[in-house]
Structure 1
Amino acid sequence: MKTNNYILTIAGLDPSSGAGITSDIKTFEAHRLYGLSVCTAVTVQNDIDFKECVWIDKAVIISQIETLFERFKISVVKIGIIQSWEVLSLVLDRLHMLNPEIKVIVDPIIKASAGFDFHSLEHQDILNKIWSQCYVITPNYDEIQLLYPDLSVEKTISHISRFTNIHLKGGHRKDKTGWDVLYHSKTAVKNITPKVEKVLQKHGSGCVLSAALASNILLQQGIEEASINAKYYTEAFLNSTDNSLGQHSYPPMKIKS
């Protein structure tokens, strides 16, 4: 294994392995990368029913991160569920301290599909700092509307784009279902249209997309190519089975921008 093939996920443990760190590891391996993992939460759930979330203490999260960095060269990190904006900010601070050039992909999971609230929306003063420490964030349409409830989606995108890139997932869109949009380099906009007419819904599809995007970034793809390939990798995952748990293709589908 090449030393530049290590990639880290910081996320929760889902016993069904459809989402969270185990899902991320499967996505990383499909991209021929070695996945490392830091656990932020232990959830009690299966693929259709979310019951409980037990948060890992922030000191334990930081210790996991520091221990991995003692052994491995890590240049790309994907972050999933985390207890609060404050803990996320602490984690980002430590990652950038350990590697000032690190690229962080954040999937801002504010609410699980089962309805569990993960983030308080009362502390938005630290959001700008958080965005500035990310390489790209991957909200869906429901999540981006919750980030700044007093702003329209367009104004929210304009604001966040000042600090980071946005891959806006289109699965929850009402106008063009399945159309993803990448906002990058402050002003560029790239529409990523579906390649299939219909997809079968899967538990953890958002985790898969962000993990695939992180993988492509580590593989030195440009932001547009990385987003396009992540989109179509996720489409293949969605249609891989006829139930709520998908299978990962190997090698991943690659489509040049």
Structure 2
Amino acid sequence: MNNKQYILTIAGHDPSGGAGITSDIKTFEAHGLYGLSVCTAITVQNDVEFNQCIWTDTKVITNQVEILFKRFKISVVKIGLVASWEVLEKIVVCLKKIDKAIKIIVDPIIKASAGFDFHSTENQNRLDKILQDCYLITPNYNEIQQLYPKLNIQDTITHISSLTNMYLKGGHRIDKKGVDELYYNKLIQLNILPLATSISEKHGSGCVLSSALASAIALENNIEDACKSAKYYTEAFLNSNTSLLGTHNYCKN
């Protein structure tokens, strides 16, 4: 083998390369990591239009995971787009069966930026068990309101942070635009303030932040430093150009 450091993304394929596994791989590469990927879905989309999602069979997903772990040492896995919480649970169970110590970072994609809903009518009850097996979840303010629809935002934050660590993305906040929050060890909260005074909107920015965070954790940063690193990497990505498709630049950790 060699001395490469590996990291895995389990997510959908976006033909535009702005989101999903392609975006994750670019982010991993920018952090000096070798990215492996498992495809959960093929999407019919570009950076402004989303028409269709063709889901990968769950057994094919877990078979992809298993054969990669036979060959590569992987300590951190980022999970993005999945068909349902039931599928997510099967993926998490598969990963934990392979390695109980694996660090799983979940980016709960509820709605595509072009308006396509993924989990709008789903029973969320099984989420509790899933989250207990995850290291970190990275919802934005729109997504967190849909994870547990019967709870308000503050109760949802309290509930999720009692189960796992959470990085709450603040790009959709009304009160403190761009201020992210980290909840870990059940109670501790860290506000992560933006450095940029303005940003240029990008397709797939949520994927970039979660994969940058996963990268920093794979590089053995502590959770606070990993979150700050991911925040500022994403800001640089957002302001890399004025189009909807950003550019990834090498990141020194």
Question: Which residue does 1:93 correspond to in 2?
Answer: 93
Question: Which residue does 1:156 correspond to in 2?
Answer: 156
Q: Residues 19-58 of structure 1 correspond to what in structure 2 (within 5 A)?
A: 19-58=19-58
Aligned-partner Cα distance in 1 for 2:205–2:130: 24
Deviation at 1:251? 2.5
Question: Which residue does 2:104 correspond to in 1?
Answer: 104
Classify the secondary structure of the residue corresponding to 1:157. helix
Question: Which residue does 1:2 correspond to in 2?
Answer: 3
Percentage identity across paired residues of the two chains: 62
Aligned-partner Cα distance in 2 for 1:174–1:19: 24
Q: Residues 73-88 of structure 1 correspond to what in structure 2 (within 5 A)?
A: 73-88=73-88
Classify the secondary structure of the residue corresponding to 2:162. coil
**Superposition RMSD in Å:** 1.0
Q: Is the 8 A contact 1:121 1:147 kept in 2?
A: no
Deviation at 1:122? 3.4
Number of matched pairs:
252
Question: Which residue does 2:133 correspond to in 1?
Answer: 133
Aligned-partner Cα distance in 2 for 1:196–1:173: 16
Aligned-partner Cα distance in 2 for 1:44–1:124: 26
Q: Is the 8 A contact 1:237 1:248 kept in 2?
A: yes
Q: If the length of structure 2 is used for normalisation, what is the TM-score?
A: 0.98
Aligned-partner Cα distance in 2 for 1:251–1:130: 31
Question: Which residue does 2:195 correspond to in 1?
Answer: 195
Q: Is the 8 A contact 2:77 2:102 kept in 1?
A: yes
Deviation at 1:150? 1.7
Deviation at 1:121? 4.2
Q: Which runs of 5+ in 1 are unaligned?
A: none
Aligned-partner Cα distance in 2 for 1:249–1:163: 34
Q: Is the 8 A contact 1:84 1:120 kept in 2?
A: no
Aligned-partner Cα distance in 2 for 1:208–1:62: 23
Deviation at 1:113? 1.4
Instruction: Name the amino acid aligned to 2:98.
Output: L
Q: Which runs of 5+ in 2 are unaligned?
A: none
Instruction: Name the amino acid aligned to 1:55.
Output: W
Q: Does 1:172 align with 2:178?
A: no
Question: Which residue does 1:145 correspond to in 2?
Answer: 145
Instruction: Name the amino acid aligned to 1:219.
Output: L
Aligned-partner Cα distance in 2 for 1:207–1:251: 17
Aligned-partner Cα distance in 1 for 2:241–2:116: 26
